[in-house]
Amino acid sequence: MELRSKVPAGPLAEQWERHRSEIKLVNPANKLKHRILVVGSGLAGASAAASLAELGYNVACFCFQDSARRAHSIAAQGGINAAKNYQNDGDSVFRLFYDTVKGGDFRAREANVYRLAQISVNIIDQCVAQGVPFAREYGGLLANRSFGGVQVSRTFYARGQTGQQLLLGAYQALSRQIALGKVTMYPRSEMLDLVVVDGRARGIIVRDLVNGRVSAHVGDAVVLATGGYSNVFYLSTNAKGCNVTAIWRAHKRGAAFANPCFTQIHPTCIPVAGHHQAKLTLMSESLRNDGRIWVPRRKGDTRSPNEIPDDERDYYLERLYPSYGNLAPRDIASRRAKEVCDEGRGVGPGGHGVYLDFRDAIARLGREVIAERYGNLFEMYQRITAENPFEVPMRIYPAPHYTMGGLWVDYNLMTTIDGLYAIGEANFSDHGANRLGASALMQGLADGYFILPYTMGDYLAQGTLDKLDPAHPAFRRTQAEVSDRVDKLVAAGGRKSVDAFHRELGRLMWDQCGMSRTAAGLRQARDRICALREEFWRDVYVGGTGEDFNQALEHAGRVADFLEFAELMCHDALHREESCGCHFREEYQTPEGEAKRDDARFGYVAAWEFAGVGVAPVLHQEPLEFAAVHPAQRSYK
């Protein structure tokens, strides 16, 4: 396996422009002959499918939800970044680029990030044209707000539902292409394997979740826009259906998996209420603009928050990071919250919580302004906890939220398998070891609207692809393997439910491969995962049949893949003997408890090649070179 990043030569600011003028184009008549398979219909998938279809390609788009509109991008609350500099506060493409590289703790590829910052401005134009109802000023121009980890206001938003509105824009563009017959949509369809013929991705095997039918789909290229894998922790802010299956199966077929241990724990989520908990709910990071985070100074202080006077409160982020305060980046805010809770100063049931207090903002701006900014978030909080944030401070605690790791891709977003692309959260490319707020939506749409539609042409124009049909031996073989695995799961007659295995895996990953990690803990976790995986295949009970709508079976397949993937995650975390961004190894920290990077040894992307289940994967390194930004210790003090 060879990692060729294909970053164009020349100055950073000119690379994308030059690349676009140099890559090959597909003649319009030939576009009509190509069929592209897009898996996933979130921001990245829907925007890519719609844009490719607009260009003339025939597209088939698959999603496991009952409608393309329900992909988990819809749950993004806070906003989308763009270097428009509408606020005249000194923002620029370079600054967005710089903030993203620094925020990612110098573990992202410079060229990709610079391109992302350049494209960010086009995304806003495109979304406004589609009718996305962004927040506006009284003069009718677009409004902005600020977000964690930066000092300018560059975030565009639609109340607390930005992801929903952007997704509906992309979904509507996709719907238009469906009506025109350029996209065939397959809802309630789950990709269960990738078909590789002569080293090229040529199709996928899909299970219809309503009737259980397993079928093969042939294409000239395959695009995975299947999101992240935070559900490896069981409890996360991801939708229940989010999973690693598509990218994991692609990995098993030869796609390198990059930086799997870079997983983001979001600082502002509603704390766990009990053992019945099935998922965690995020409270938008934008709340940190006006909310102040604190815990009692004294351990075990059980007074109600409003009875604790100011001098007995510890506004620890403001104390530790005077210049960024409550807007410190996510990784830092999360780690510090864990720290104060571990000290015994946490609040709420079990002591796993810190306060996010709006008292001062309400006094300064008035209840109405706060209600307008965060009304729907406050309501959501109250529905879940039965507490009113206008009266008592919110309680928050970190939760798994986003995965920076994903399939390794080159500058064209192609994986190490020819013709297989990964876009959005499913790839690794832009966020390094930590993603800044409001950057996921930006990346998903940049990949889908403005990058992939160009770069895919370069691949398709280069060679002739054989005409294939599902009767080809590679398709039949892969389809048979998928069917066998489904049958094996259904036939498993053990005693433990799928959910029980998932919970156990999640607990293990949260404890040993979550917010802070140690070599001993990771080794222990790796051994336990192997044992748990064996136990799963021996002792799981699924029930029902494979020829039916069977949600336990869907879940079983996903958990089986998580049980293989989790081992890779621990392996990666163990090998990376440094702390950077969200990857915090307790052995490697500064005296102030900040992450201590080791650029000399680990200034690279770790891309892993699959070598077998339970077999140590093979490491490939893509060295990271920084021409425009000099790697320094991140400081938000």
Q: 31-60: which residues touch another protein (CB under 8 A)?
A: 47, 50-51, 54
- C-alpha atoms less than 13 angstroms from C-alpha of 358 in its C-beta half-sphere: 27
DSSP code of 2?
A: -
Exposed, middle or buried by CB within 10 Å (0-12, 13-18, 19+), for 352?
A: middle
Check residue 504 for interaction with another protein (CB under 8 A).
no
Q: How far is the CB of 481 from another protein (least distance, A)?
A: 27
Instruction: Count residues near another protein (CB under 8 A).
Output: 80
Quick one: 94 or 454, whose CB is closer to another protein?
Answer: 454
CB of 549 to another protein, least distance (A): 5
Between helices 551-575 and 473-491, what is the axis angle to 10°?
100
The interface with another protein within residues 81-110 (CB under 8 A) comprises 84, 86
Question: Binding another protein by CB under 8 A: which of 126, 326, 479, 579?
Answer: 126
Residue indicated by tokens 């498993």:
492
DSSP one-letter string for 214-262: EEEEE-SEEEE-----GGGGSSSSS-TT--SHHHHHHHHTT--EE-TT-
Give how far Cα 387 sits from Cα of 270, 369, 375, 521, Å. Answer: 12, 20, 14, 37
Can residue 453 be called a binding residue for another protein (CB under 8 A)? yes
Name the residue nearer to another protein (CB basis): 103 or 187: 187
Q: Among 460, 275, 449, which Cα is nearest to 349's?
A: 275
Contact 157, 286 (CB under 8 A): yes
213 is a contact residue toward another protein (CB under 8 A): no
Site string for another protein, 282-301 (x = CB under 8 A): x-------------------
What are the C-alpha distances in Å from 447 to residues 46, 71, 105? Answer: 11, 16, 22
Q: How far is the CB of 565 from another protein (least distance, A)?
A: 21
CA dihedral 332, 338, 343, 345 (to 10 degrees): 100
The interface mask with another protein, positions 421-440, x = CB under 8 A, is --------------------
What x-and-dash track marks residues 374-413 binding another protein by CB under 8 A? -----xx--xx-x---------------------------
**Identity of the residue, 87 or 589, whose beta carbon is nearer to another protein in the bound complex:** 87
Q: Please, which residue, 70 or 202, has the CB nearer to another protein? A: 70
Torsion angles phi and psi, residue 377, rounded to 5: -70, -40
In whole angstroms, what separates CA 459 from the centre of its chain? 26
What backbone torsions phi and psi does residue 135 show, to the nearest 5 degrees? Answer: -65, 145
Which residue's CB is nearer to another protein, number 379 or number 609? 379
Q: Which residues contact 540 (CB under 8 A, 6 or more apart)?
A: 489, 492, 494, 496, 497, 498, 501, 556
Give the interface segment with another protein, choosing from 19-27, 91-99, 168-176, 362-370 (CB under 8 A). Answer: 168-176
- Amino acid (one-letter) located at 268: T
Residue with Cβ nearer another protein (256 or 492) = 492
3-state SS assignment for residue 532: helix
Residue choice 10, 13, 67, 616 for contact with another protein (CB under 8 A): 67
**Window 172-191: residues binding another protein (CB under 8 A):** 172-173, 175-180, 185, 187
Q: Which is nearer to another protein, 138 or 471 (CB)?
A: 138
- Token look-up 């990857």 returns 583
Q: What is the CA radius of gyration of the chain?
A: 24
* Cα–Cα dist 117/272, whole Å: 36
Q: How is residue 389 annotated by DSSP?
A: T
The nearer residue to another protein, 27 or 545, going by C-beta atoms, is 545
User: Of 271-279, 288-296, 333-341, 413-421, which part binds another protein (CB under 8 A)?
Assistant: 271-279
Q: Binding string to another protein for residues 516 to 555, with x set by CB under 8 A, is what? A: -------------------------x-xx---xx-xx---
**Residues 310-369, interacting with another protein (CB under 8 A):** none
Q: ∠ at Cα 16 (25, 224), nearest 5°?
A: 70
Q: Which of 14, 17, 89, 125 binds another protein (CB under 8 A)?
A: 125
Name which of 277, 308, 371, 323 is nearest 151 in CA terms. Answer: 323
Q: Which is nearer to another protein, 100 or 237 (CB)?
A: 237
Which among 195-203, 225-233, 245-253, 446-454 is the span making contact with another protein, rule CB under 8 A?
446-454
Q: Report the residue number, 41 or 289, with the smaller CB distance to another protein.
A: 41
Among 35, 279, 313, 528, interactor with another protein by CB under 8 A: 279
Contact 355, 293 (CB under 8 A): yes
Binding to another protein (CB under 8 A) within 565-624 occurs at none
d(CA 425, CA 405): 8
Instruction: Tell the smallest beta-carbon distance from residue 452 to another protein (Å).
Output: 11
The residue among 150 and 168 lying less far from another protein, judged by its C-beta, is 168
Angle formed by the axes of helices 162-179 and 110-130, to 10°? 70
Q: Could you identify the residue written with the tokens 């100011």?
A: 310
> Can you tell me which of 114, 134, 358, 565 binds another protein, judged by CB under 8 A?
134
Task: Kindly tell me which of 23 and 218 has the beta carbon lying closer to another protein.
Answer: 23
Question: Is 240 or 298 the residue whose CB approaches another protein more closely?
Answer: 240
Minimum Å gap between C-beta 604 and another protein is 34
Residues 470-499 that bind another protein (CB under 8 A): 497, 499
Q: How far apart are CA 316 and CA 9, in angstroms?
A: 45
The two structure tokens encoding residue 254 = 């030869």
Q: Contacting another protein (CB under 8 A), which of 19, 31, 34, 69?
A: 69
